[in-house]
C-alpha cells in the first residue's frame, strides 16, 4: 500500500485547515506536511494515526488511489458571494462536493437516478426569457413554487445541504460530467432566502459556460454573471406577468405590499424589491427609499413570515439509501464497506452530513449472534474453591 499525498491534501482542505494549522495540531513541522502531500516522504505510523484523528478520515482513505474519484470532475464551481469568501473556504467546499460526487457515482451503480432534463438555452438568451423557457419545459405554470428542491431533483439536478464553516457561503454548484450538483448552506435558516439561492444556482446551470475558470474572471465579469443568475432566480420564482398582476392589485409600494407578495411567492422582501426594480414596477428612487425603509425596520436579517415559510430539504439521496436498505441490497455496514472498496473510505457520520441524511441513518447495525459465549463474573465462592 502506498500513501497517497493527494488524499492528505483533500482531507486537509475538507477540514478547512492550512498546512500550518494541521502541522501545529499534530505537532510536526509544516514542511513535513508539504512533503507528505507531494509524495516526497511518507508519514510514520504514529504521525499517520495523528493525521487520521485530526482529520476524521479512516486510515484506508489515505492509501486509496484517486482513480474514478476526482478525475471526472471538470469545469468550474460557482459560489454565491465569491469575493467575500477566502480561497481556503472555497477549497473546502469544492473538496466536499468532490466527495458528494464520488458517493453519487458509487450509488448510481445501484440506483437509477432521475436523468438530467434541461431545455436547450443559448448563452445569449436574456435571464428572464430563460426562466420562462425553463418553467414551460418543467410544466410549472405561472404559480408559486413551494417545492423547488424537489423539482430540481426530479429533473436530474443533485441537491444537498450541509453546514459550512463560513456564513458568507450561501450556495454553490458544480458540474460533474453531465451532472450538476447544487449545495445549499445550512447556516442560512431562512427558507425564503434559500429558495432564492437554489434558483440562483439554477440560473448558473441554465445560463453559463461551465468550462471557464471563474477564478480568472474580472470582478466586473463575475458580477455580471451573478446579476444574470439573480435576474433568472427572481423571474423563475415569480414570473413577470404574475408579479405585475399581483403588484398592481395591491396598488402600493409600501413594505406591506411586499409582505403579502412574500407570503405568496416565498421570496424575501429584499429579493421582491430587487425584482420590482428590475421589472420597472417601481422607479430606482422608490427602490432606494423602500430599501432604506426595510433596513430601518430591521428587516435586513429578520423579515415577517421568515418563521412561517419552510424549505423542504433534499430527499433524493435519502430515498436512494432507504431503497437500498429496504430492499436488502446492503446493510448499513456493507454499504459503507462497498463505498470504501469503491475508493472512498469515509466515516458514516461524514457521509450522513454530506448527503443531508438524518443522523444515525448509516450507523452500523447492532448484530447479536447465538455463537457468542456468555462471560460471567466468577463468584467469591468459586475463587475460594
Partner 1 sequence: MSDVINEKLVKKLPKIANAMQNAFGDLLPLYLTGSLKTRNSFPFLKWDCINTSLVELSGFEIKLSRRGSWSFLLIFEPDSQMVITLIKRNKLNAIQKSKNKSSSQYINELTGLNKVLHGNGSPYSLWGNDSEDNEFLTAIEKECESFTNMKDLSKARHLFIVFDEFKNKLTYLSAIVVDSNFYQVGDAIDMMGMIDPEMPLPLESVPTHPKKPPEVHLSPLALKLREDNKAANDK
DSSP string across 145-208: -S-HHHHHHHTTEEEEEE--S-TT--EEEEEETTEEEEEEETT---HHHHHHHHHHHHHHHHHS
Interface mask toward partner 1 for 190-229; x: CB under 8 A: ----------------------------------------
Binder of partner 1 out of 143, 177, 360, 364 (CB under 8 A): 143
* 246 is an interface residue for partner 1 by CB under 8 A: yes
Q: Residue 252 CB, nearest distance to partner 1 (Å)?
A: 5
* 146 is an interface residue for partner 1 by CB under 8 A: yes
Neighbours of 162 (CB within 10 A): 18
* 370 is an interface residue for partner 1 by CB under 8 A: no
Q: Residue 143 CB, nearest distance to partner 1 (Å)?
A: 3
Binder of partner 1 out of 315, 332, 337, 349 (CB under 8 A): 315
Q: Residue 19 CB, nearest distance to partner 1 (Å)?
A: 40
Q: Residue 93 CB, nearest distance to partner 1 (Å)?
A: 23
Residue of 338, 313, 343 lying closest to 324 (CA atoms): 338
Three-state DSSP class for residue 236:
helix
Q: Which is nearer to partner 1, 87 or 115 (CB)?
A: 115
Q: Which is nearer to partner 1, 53 or 245 (CB)?
A: 245
Only segment of 39-47, 142-150, 273-281, 284-292 that touches partner 1 (CB under 8 A): 142-150
Residues 6 or more apart whose CB falls under 8 angstroms from that of 319 comprise none
DSSP string across 56-85: T--GGGGGS--TTTTTTEEEEEEETTGGGS
> How many chain residues touch partner 1 (CB under 8 A)?
46
Only segment of 181-189, 209-217, 248-256, 272-280 that touches partner 1 (CB under 8 A): 248-256
DSSP secondary structure letter of residue 125: S
* 133 is an interface residue for partner 1 by CB under 8 A: no
Residues 6 or more apart whose CB falls under 8 angstroms from that of 184 comprise 149, 159, 160, 161, 170, 171, 194, 197, 198
* 305 is an interface residue for partner 1 by CB under 8 A: yes
* 251 is an interface residue for partner 1 by CB under 8 A: yes
H or E element in which residue 223 lies: helix 219-237
Q: Residue 110 CB, nearest distance to partner 1 (Å)?
A: 4
Q: Residue 49 CB, nearest distance to partner 1 (Å)?
A: 35
Residue of 228, 249, 230, 227 lying closest to 238 (CA atoms): 230
Residues 6 or more apart whose CB falls under 8 angstroms from that of 126 comprise 231
Binder of partner 1 out of 108, 283, 288, 341 (CB under 8 A): 108
Residue of 284, 356, 260, 37 lying closest to 272 (CA atoms): 260
Edge-to-edge strands, sheet with 157-162 = 73-79, 171-176, 179-185, 157-162
Q: Which is nearer to partner 1, 40 or 154 (CB)?
A: 154
Read off the C-alpha cell for 289.
Answer: 427609499
Q: Which is nearer to partner 1, 216 or 327 (CB)?
A: 327
Task: Using CB under 8 A, list all residues that contact partner 1.
Answer: 108-114, 138-147, 150, 153-154, 246, 249-252, 254, 256, 259-260, 263-266, 304-305, 308-309, 315-316, 319-320, 323-324, 327-329
Amino acid at each position: 500500500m502506498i500513501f497517497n499525498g493527494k488524499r492528505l491534501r483533500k482531507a486537509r482542505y475538507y477540514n478547512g485547515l492550512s498546512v500550518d494549522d494541521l502541522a501545529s495540531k499534530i505537532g510536526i513541522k509544516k514542511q513535513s506536511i508539504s512533503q507528505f502531500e507531494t509524495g516526497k516522504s511518507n508519514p510514520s505510523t504514529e504521525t499517520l494515526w495523528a493525521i487520521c484523528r485530526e482529520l476524521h478520515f479512516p486510515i484506508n482513505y489515505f492509501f486509496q488511489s484517486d482513480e474514478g474519484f476526482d478525475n471526472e470532475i471538470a469545469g468550474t464551481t460557482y459560489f454565491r458571494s465569491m469575493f467575500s469568501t477566502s480561497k481556503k473556504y472555497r477549497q473546502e467546499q469544492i473538496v466536499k462536493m468532490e466527495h458528494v460526487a464520488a458517493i453519487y457515482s458509487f450509488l448510481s451503480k445501484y440506483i437509477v437516478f432521475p436523468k438530467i432534463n434541461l431545455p436547450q438555452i443559448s448563452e445569449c438568451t436574456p435571464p428572464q426569457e430563460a426562466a420562462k423557457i425553463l418553467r414551460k419545459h418543467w410544466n410549472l405554470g405561472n404559480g408559486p413554487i413551494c417545492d423547488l428542491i424537489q423539482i430540481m431533483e426530479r429533473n436530474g439536478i443533485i441537491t444537498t445541504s450541509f453546514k459550512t464553516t463560513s456564513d458568507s457561503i450561501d450556495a454553490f454548484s458544480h458540474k460533474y460530467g453531465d451532472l450538476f450538483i447544487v449545495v445549499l448552506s445550512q447556516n442560512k435558516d431562512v427558507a425564503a432566502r434559500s429558495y432564492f439561492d437554489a434558483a440562483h444556482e439554477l440560473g448558473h446551470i441554465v445560463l453559463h459556460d461551465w468550462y471557464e475558470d471563474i477564478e480568472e474572471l474580472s470582478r466586473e465579469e463575475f458580477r455580471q454573471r451573478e446579476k444574470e443568475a439573480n435576474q433568472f432566480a427572481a423571474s423563475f420564482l415569480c414570473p413577470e406577468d404574475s408579479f405585475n398582476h399581483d403588484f398592481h392589485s395591491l396598488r402600493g409600494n409600501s413594505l406591506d405590499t411586499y409582505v403579502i407578495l412574500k407570503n405568496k411567492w416565498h421570496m424575501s422582501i429584499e429579493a421582491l424589491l430587487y425584482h420590482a426594480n428590475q421589472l420597472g414596477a417601481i422607479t430606482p428612487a422608490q427602490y432606494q427609499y423602500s430599501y432604506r425603509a426595510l433596513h430601518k425596520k430591521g428587516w435586513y436579517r429578520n423579515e415577517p413570515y421568515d418563521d412561517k415559510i419552510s424549505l423542504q430539504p433534499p430527499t433524493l439521496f435519502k430515498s436512494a439509501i432507504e431503497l437500498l436498505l429496504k430492499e436488502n441490497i446492503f446493510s448499513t455496514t456493507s454499504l459503507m464497506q462497498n463505498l470504501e472498496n469503491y475508493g472512498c473510505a469515509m466515516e458514516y457520520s461524514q457521509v450522513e452530513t454530506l448527503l443531508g441524511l438524518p443522523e444515525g441513518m448509516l450507523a452500523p447495525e447492532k448484530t447479536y449472534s447465538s455463537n457468542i459465549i456468555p462471560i460471567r463474573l466468577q463468584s467469591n465462592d468459586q475463587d475460594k474453591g
